[in-house]
Structure 1
Amino acid sequence: MQQTKEQYNTGTATAKQPSHEADQSKTQRLRDKKVGDLMVNKRRLVEVPYTATLAHTMNALVANKVLAVPVAAPPGQWIGAGGSMIVEADKQTGTVRKHYIGLATMLDILAHIAGTEDQLMDEGVNDGFDLDQKMSVPVSTIIGQCLEGLSLWTLNPNTSIVDCMEVFSKGIHRALVPVDSHMDNVAGVELVESASSYRMLTQMDVLKFLKEHASSGSELDGILSRTVSDLGVVTERVFAITDRTKVIDAIKCMRIALLNAVPIVRSSDADNEEDHKQLVNGFGREVIGTFSATDLRGCHFATLKTWLPMSALDYTETVFANPLLASIASNTAGPTSRELVVCQSDTPLGQVIDKVVTKQVHRVWVVDQQGLLKGLISLTDIIRVTRFAIVAEPNP
């Protein structure tokens, strides 16, 4: 969501005020902003019907450059994710048209491809692996393979940014925001909602908003200049894969650990017994790459058999040779192959937020001067500490 700072100005007095008052009007009272302020120019919701195949769903993710899509079903026939009742209803009559029953993510699809069968590695490299069959099942059958698919929430446009950040600080990555809600007087997160249409709000949208809002004199001044170590935003326990881990094993590990991305560390020459099919403790290891579910967007189904038995490191080094993937990376300002998005423990939080938004990544690896892994910073962690700083700011 790219917006100019002028879109956040209040009223029409900006052009008449002195510049310092204009800046104050533009940046003051972040805590008074609402979720609706983040939804300006948000595009229509990308969704798939419950009958869509996984192949169709993956195509929708790739074509729209999104990481998750809501799954819509006829009303009254399904139990929604987490028992939710989030429906789309006709604006005039209130007649319910569809019920959103969960989310389908790229990791859900990859976890389904990887499967749980012991013989999958053999199937992945010979003609016994029936990829067409795996990708022809309805998307409704894979909802919940990964926990995120069951996390379907709504946030009312009247919810404050601070309350929105509290929700996202608990590990919820995205929420539906109703347009023309039938519950306009409700503020907060809801499992029951009826609206004529929805938009999707993500953790990344919040950080983009904060980046746009940050300027001299804002409530964020104090926290953005502090180091990530000082703020306690670094998680030191990091699970990783090695440079010998195959793509299919990496996907299995990510599914079990509910991870969307893992760092790739150099394998230990001294430890010949290191199990490259399992996650390893990445702390203090040399980081040489990142393997993420988002890296797999755009892979044509015909090539899946080729890359499943590849090492994850080889895959990340060759994936952007594919013109389609190179185009995706260029359009989303994402990192190129082998580019590591890292920081150090003394990096200011503001610089980390800038890296996250500019590179469109959902985590930053923390390394020392030698490039050894010391931890990670997630979007959840950033939102958590930023919210705390806003709440702690004294009222004028």
Structure 2
Amino acid sequence: MQEMKQAKRGGGATMQQSESVRIQGKKVMDMMVDKKRLVEVPYTASLAQTMSTLVANKIVAVPVAAPPGQWIGAGGSMIVESDKQTGAVRKHYIGMVTMLDIVAHIAGEDHLSGGDNITEDLAERMSDPVSSIIGNSFEGLSLWTLNPNTSLLDCMEVFSKGVHRAMVPVDGLEENVSSGVELTESASSYQMLTQMDMLRFLHGHAGELHSILSRSVQDLGADTVQIYAITDRTKLVHAIKCLKAAMLNAVPIVRATDVGQDDHKQLINGRCRKLIGTFSATDLRGCHISSLKSWLGISALAFTEEVESSPLYTDSDMQNRASSRRELVACYAESPLSEVIEKAVTSHVHRVWVVDQEGLLMGVVSLTDVIRVIRHSLLSDSNNR
């Protein structure tokens, strides 16, 4: 390996710098190729209808649209859709609703206690309007847009700070020439750009990022002291509450100890524990309300296995993702960053667990981590030229 590194120095450095320059010249518009029109829901849609929209479109978040002038946008944003010819405002996007928002609502105070009326409680809660739960998670508190002319590096800066998605205007008003992140935007239509979209784009340009992607996971600082986890004995009802309490989209499932010291109703430190699964808010996309009652009392691990038979996984694409999740998307501290990106994109996951040779959990790499490290490396390349 050392000989390979030495062989790439010298003349190869100039080529790598030139490749780095090419990727830095990319813009948001370059990542929007083949993107479809924005999927959204009206503010009057019920949570059940919203979840159906998520399932049908295989997405984990949707913006909420309302009539203009009646709502304050999330984070004070004024993101509107206007008529292309007249400029008249047709709708105002008031926030983003994610699967975690819905999970947090399901896990409301004193709910999911396992009582006889659990199905009725859930049915009632899922009939609530989607506008009532905006802001249940951090992401719902803000709504961002990115101009198509925003540079790749500026876009990476936004995503490296934990913003998971931003709306990109199509045919925006000409006077809006800003290329950065905006809280005010008017366009005739929008598309959505996500962290995963960016990762797919970077994956497609791996050849231009070879020197960066050959770095190990260890360079990301992914080996952490505290890793929130649940055990294989944690019931689904408590796993949902754990996600809500910590505002996490997913947690690793680790093997419970034989001595019985774990609190299976709470998050525990999963470091140096055997990794055996993952429980994610997105797992609930394939769970119909009528099925949830019978599943609440089983373990979250068993639920992740049973939910694979839901309608969500009827097509081959979803079946492949389910299979990937069963296989555990993990890497080693010595694994190159390119392997992490490959696994995240192929399995469509937003985090890759870091384990040792015995399969013990040592850390986690998120899409935010990957984007942050690549951006930092690109900036360093620019400063060294």
TM-score after normalising by structure 2: 0.91
Aligned-partner residue type, residue 131 of structure 1:
L
Aligned-partner residue type, residue 330 of structure 1:
D
Between the aligned partners of 2:47 and 2:298, the Cα distance in structure 1 is 23
Out of 181, 196, 200, the residue aligned to residue 208 of structure 1 is 200
1:30 match: 23
Residue 149 (str. 1) matches residue 140 (str. 2) = yes
The 3 A distance-change label for structure 1 pair 135 and 288 is same
Between the aligned partners of 1:276 and 1:129, the Cα distance in structure 2 is 26
The 3 A distance-change label for structure 1 pair 107 and 360 is same
Residue 241 (str. 1) matches residue 230 (str. 2) = yes
**Cα distance, 1:197 vs. partner?**
0.6
Cα distance per residue 1:13-32 (max 9 Å; x no partner) = xxxxxxxxxx9999851111
Q: How do residues 186-225 of structure 1 correspond to structure 2 at under 5 angstroms?
A: 186-215=178-207, 218=208, 220-225=209-214
Aligned-partner residue type, residue 326 of structure 1:
Y
Q: For 1:345, what is the secondary structure of its paired residue? A: coil
| Aligned structure 1 segments of 4 or more residues deviating by more than 6 angstroms | 23-27
Question: What is the percentage of aligned positions where both structures have the same residue?
Answer: 63
Cα distance per residue 1:172-207 (max 9 Å; x no partner) = 000000001125410110111111110000000001
2:305 match: 317
CA RMSD of superposed structures (Å): 2.1
Cα distance per residue 1:46-90 (max 9 Å; x no partner) = 000000001100000000000000000011111110111111111
Cα distance per residue 1:144-198 (max 9 Å; x no partner) = 1111112210000110000000000000000000001125410110111111110
Q: For 1:120, what is the secondary structure of its paired residue? A: coil
Residue 232 (str. 1) matches residue 225 (str. 2) = no
Aligned-partner residue type, residue 208 of structure 1:
R
**Cα distance, 1:233 vs. partner?**
4.4
2:264 match: 276
1:355 match: 343
Q: For 1:283, what is the secondary structure of its paired residue? A: coil
1:60 match: 53
Answer whether contact 2:28 2:149 (CA < 8 A) is retained: yes
2:67 match: 74
Answer whether contact 1:247 1:311 (CA < 8 A) is retained: yes
Between the aligned partners of 2:119 and 2:24, the Cα distance in structure 1 is 57
Cα distance per residue 1:263-312 (max 9 Å; x no partner) = 00111112x24211110001111111000011121222211111122210
Out of 241, 244, 265, the residue aligned to residue 255 of structure 1 is 244
Between the aligned partners of 1:273 and 1:53, the Cα distance in structure 2 is 41
After alignment, is 260-269 or 104-113 more displaced?
Answer: 104-113
1:16 match: none
The 3 A distance-change label for structure 1 pair 301 and 390 is same
Between the aligned partners of 1:388 and 1:320, the Cα distance in structure 2 is 38
1:326 match: 313
Structure 1 residue runs without a partner (length 5+): 1-22
Q: For 2:113, what is the secondary structure of its paired residue? A: helix
How many residues align structurally? 368
Aligned-partner residue type, residue 334 of structure 2:
D
The 3 A distance-change label for structure 1 pair 59 and 317 is same
Aligned-partner residue type, residue 254 of structure 1:
L
Q: For 2:35, what is the secondary structure of its paired residue? A: coil
Aligned-partner residue type, residue 315 of structure 1:
F
Aligned-partner residue type, residue 327 of structure 1:
T
Aligned-partner residue type, residue 317 of structure 2:
S
Answer whether contact 1:87 1:195 (CA < 8 A) is retained: yes
Q: For 2:326, what is the secondary structure of its paired residue? A: coil
Structure 2 residue runs without a partner (length 5+): 1-15
Between the aligned partners of 2:242 and 2:296, the Cα distance in structure 1 is 14
1:20 match: none
Bigger fraction of residues in helix: 2
Between the aligned partners of 2:345 and 2:120, the Cα distance in structure 1 is 39
The 3 A distance-change label for structure 1 pair 152 and 328 is farther
Aligned-partner residue type, residue 384 of structure 1:
R
Answer whether contact 1:343 1:366 (CA < 8 A) is retained: yes
Answer whether contact 1:332 1:360 (CA < 8 A) is retained: no
Between the aligned partners of 2:302 and 2:294, the Cα distance in structure 1 is 12
2:13 match: none
Q: For 1:176, what is the secondary structure of its paired residue? A: strand
Q: For 1:199, what is the secondary structure of its paired residue? A: strand
Between the aligned partners of 2:211 and 2:223, the Cα distance in structure 1 is 18
Q: For 1:193, what is the secondary structure of its paired residue? A: strand
1:113 match: 106
Answer whether contact 1:235 1:377 (CA < 8 A) is retained: no
Between the aligned partners of 2:225 and 2:105, the Cα distance in structure 1 is 30
**Cα distance, 1:394 vs. partner?**
3.4
